[in-house]
């Protein structure tokens, strides 16, 4: 090899080394600084520069939003309807807002789908595509999209009547763009039940009937229909089962395969407010059997789909193209939803999540993790195959803006503490106690917390007995005003709102024991408000 070739080889190696060290620098005190080329996200539209506006979670352009409604896929589009009040940033007369997406990540705002009428406000419900035109509201060539929702009659409620909630139907013949109310509304009447709402309808291929579950105060009710219009009551479930700290809301029911086995079970979701494990609103689930008329379960304990404080009223998509069970929740809590520190809009949705059912400790566990489509938004910023933690000594990673990032790592099944902080003295602490099998989130000093009494009052602690592996995988996703944490592929998930005064720029990692961290990475998450 001649001298010229040696020189070229030497400088090529030098360039590679310098490039690596320009991306991350590690000092003797175990501090890593990531020199990101991506600074705090700034989109081209004024709306998406607002303080705390999520950059990759769905939010309304303006005004108030709560529960997701009518989740349905049709002809290449995921439809997201939602509870919406277009005149204020606090709850008011409910409409159905509407957005669509090709990939569950990028969303396009659509015009309001359903408005209140003489029968009442438009509360939560579901949507299906009546492919066989069983309703007769479309044609075989142009099947209707059907929305079934709760009418809430405010005058009836004020008068003290119990029949102020009934179920209505609307249909669309242009794939969800415009809607017509059914002239025979309400399709399910009510004479005795004060809280009678939130119908989830779906086609049951095992019985060749439409099925519907709704909630009636402290229990669920099941109905069947041949045509989506005439419904027959079948059974009830739940009066003496599950959590009953508040009224039951927003049911959903679906079947999932159990892990890699041939076993299949049905899962029933029920949201409850108040009564969640960390106060206010939460969503419990039951695993059991369903024959199209009656749901049964041997489950004795109370199980929650998310153990954070800000995942409520979540439901799943009908008619997904790959049969995956995709879930979206409202990323808030009725304890403080009306008080969060945003000015022109209020509330966001969780990331869409894929649900799966598995067995851990010989018990059924409903897992949830972000849909794979999110990966297309990620830009690698830092990675390290291994990092040694010395007992009670800090490891620090500096990064321009953790509040638009995904942090991943695998720890040994030992105590681990992570602190996200900034120079405004905000700190968000997440901590796993391996000996006690407890996971905790402390947002008491995470930024703005005093807008409501209960928001930053307590550390949120959760028993995590289903962490049984020798290692613990952490997937941590932060947006401008939220954190979503998934342990071991979604065996546990935690969703919390946060309102830091500045983006977090430092991650401090500590352990009470020596241990090795593996597969550490930081990825920037591109904003969604520009076309993919």
Active-site amino acid positions: 67
Cα separation, 172 vs 143, in Å, equals: 9
Q: Under DSSP, is residue 481 helix (H, G, I), strand (E, B) or coil?
A: coil
Q: Identify each DSSP E strand in 278-394 by its residue range.
A: 282-290, 295-296, 303-304, 312-316, 325-330, 345-346, 353-360, 363-370, 378-389
Residue 330 tokens, joined: 């409202």
Q: How far is CA 439 from the centre of its chain?
A: 19
Task: Specify whether the CB–CB gap between 332 and 91 falls below 8 A.
Answer: no
Asked whether the bond before 55 is cis by omega within 30 degrees of 0, the reply is no
Distance CA 333, CA 251 (A): 17
**274-296 CB burial, b ≥16 within 10 A, e <16:** ebbbbbbbbbbbbbbebeebebe
Q: Which of 504, 443, 477, 524 lies closest to 351 in space, CA to CA?
A: 477
Q: Using DSSP bridges, classify how beta strands 345-346 and 63-74 pair: parallel, antiparallel or unpaired.
A: parallel
Three-class SS string for 3-14?
HHHHHHHHHHHH
Cα angle 351, 381, 517; round to 5: 85
Backbone angles phi, psi at 243, to 5 degrees: -80, 135
DSSP annotation of 21 reads: H
* DSSP states of 103-166: SSSS-EEEEEEE--BTTBEEEEEEEEE-TT-TTSSS-SSSPPEEEEEEEE-HHHHHTT-S--EE
Please check whether residue 507 is in contact with residue 33, taking contact to mean a CB–CB distance below 8 angstroms. no
In DSSP notation, 436-476 reads: TTEEEEEEEESS--TTSTTTTSS-EEEE-TT--SSEEEEEE
Alpha-carbon distance of 78 to 322, in angstroms, equals 13
- Residue 39 and residue 502 in contact, taking contact as beta carbons nearer than 8 Å: no
Q: CB of 123 within 8 A of CB of 149?
A: yes
CA distance 184 to 211: 20
Task: Give the chain's end-to-end CA distance (angstroms, integer).
Answer: 48
């Amino acid at each position: 090899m001649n001298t010229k070739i040696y020189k070229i080889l030497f400088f090529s190696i030098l360039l590679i080394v310098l490039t690596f060290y320009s991306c991350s620098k590690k000092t003797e005190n175990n501090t890593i600084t990531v020199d990101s080329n991506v600074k705090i996200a700034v989109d081209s539209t004024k709306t998406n520069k607002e303080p705390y506006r999520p950059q990759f979670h769905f939010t309304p352009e303006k005004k108030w939003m709560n529960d997701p409604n009518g989740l349905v896929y049709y002809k290449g589009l995921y439809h997201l309807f939602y509870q919406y009040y277009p005149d204020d940033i606090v709850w008011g007369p409910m409409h159905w807002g509407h957005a669509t997406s090709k990939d569950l990540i990028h969303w396009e705002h659509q015009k309001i789908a359903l408005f209140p009428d003489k029968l009442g406000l438009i509360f939560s419900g579901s949507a299906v595509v009546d492919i066989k035109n069983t309703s007769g509201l479309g044609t075989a060539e142009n099947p209707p999209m059907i929305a079934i929702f709760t009418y809430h009659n405010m005058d009836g409620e004020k008068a003290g009547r119990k029949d102020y909630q009934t179920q209505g139907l609307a249909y669309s013949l242009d794939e969800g763009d415009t809607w017509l109310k059914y002239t025979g509304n309400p399709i399910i009447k009510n004479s005795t039940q004060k809280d009678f709402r939130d119908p989830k309808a779906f086609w049951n291929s095992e019985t060749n009937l439409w099925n519907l579950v709704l909630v009636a105060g402290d229990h669920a009710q099941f109905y069947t229909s041949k045509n989506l219009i005439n419904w027959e009551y079948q059974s009830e479930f739940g009066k003496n089962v599950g959590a009953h700290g508040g009224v039951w809301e927003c049911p959903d029911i679906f079947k999932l395969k159990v892990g890699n086995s041939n076993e299949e079970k049905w899962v029933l979701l029920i949201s409850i407010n108040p009564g969640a494990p960390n106060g206010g609103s939460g969503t419990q689930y039951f695993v059991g059997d369903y024959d199209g008329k009656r749901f049964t379960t041997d489950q004795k304990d109370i199980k929650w789909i998310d153990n954070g404080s800000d995942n409520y009223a979540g439901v799943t998509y009908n008619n997904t193209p790959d049969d995956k069970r995709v879930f979206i929740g409202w990323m808030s809590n009725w304890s403080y939803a009306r008080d969060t520190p945003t000015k022109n809009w209020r509330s966001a949705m969780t990331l869409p999540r894929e649900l799966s059912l598995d067995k851990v400790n010989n018990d059924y566990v409903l897992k949830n993790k972000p849909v794979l489509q999110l990966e297309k938004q990620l830009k690698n910023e830092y990675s390290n195959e291994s990092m040694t933690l010395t007992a009670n000594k800090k490891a620090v990673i500096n990064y321009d803006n953790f509040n638009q990032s995904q942090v991943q790592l695998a720890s040994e099944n030992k105590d681990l503490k992570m602190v996200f902080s900034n120079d405004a003295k905000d700190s968000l602490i997440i901590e796993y106690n391996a000996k006690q099998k407890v996971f905790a989130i402390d947002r008491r000093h995470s930024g703005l917390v005093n807008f409501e009494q209960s928001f930053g009052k307590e550390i949120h602690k959760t028993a995590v007995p289903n962490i049984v592996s020798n290692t613990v995988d952490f997937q941590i996703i932060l947006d401008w005003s939220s954190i979503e944490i998934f342990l071991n592929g979604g065996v546990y998930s935690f969703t919390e709102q946060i309102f830091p005064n500045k983006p977090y720029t430092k991650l401090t990692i500590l352990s009470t024991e020596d241990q090795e961290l593996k597969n550490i990475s930081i990825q920037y998450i591109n904003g969604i408000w520009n076309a993919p």
